[in-house]
Amino acid sequence: MDQVEIFKALSNKTRLQILGWLKEPELNFPEQQNADFENVGVCVGQIQLKSGLSQSTISEYLSILQRADLISSTRVGQWTYYKRNKEGLEKLSEIINTAL
């Protein structure tokens, strides 16, 4: 993954917020019932609702974050759940500490 693409993914207020929300899902998405936050995460619809942007926009934002390895997804039935990707974020931390 290109470093520039990671930073581009983070260059947007909503995408940064999403990442923040996914850091504490139980706090930010209390309405999601039967949630297995640890293993699957939060579904697109909940994130879209919270963001106030359109469904298509959020779907695209999530795939941008995923391409940057900052989140990962799991499909369960008709839902796609997204969660924080710890490894990707650690790698980002490392980039900043070693390359910049």
Partner DNA sequence: TTGGCATATCGGGAAAAGTCGATATACATT
Partner DNA sequence: AATGTATATCGACTTTTCCCGATATGCCAA
Residues at the contact surface with DNA, assessed by CB under 7 A:
8, 11-14, 43-45, 48, 53-57, 59-60, 62-64, 73, 75, 77-81
Length of the chain: 100
Of 36 and 90, which has the nearer Cβ to DNA? 36
Of 8 and 67, which has the nearer Cβ to a second copy? 8
Lookup result for tokens 């207020």:
13
The binder of 78, among DNA, a second copy, none, by C-beta within 5 to 8 A per type, is: DNA
- To 10 degrees, what angle do helices 13-23 and 44-51 make? 120
SS3 state of residue 39: coil
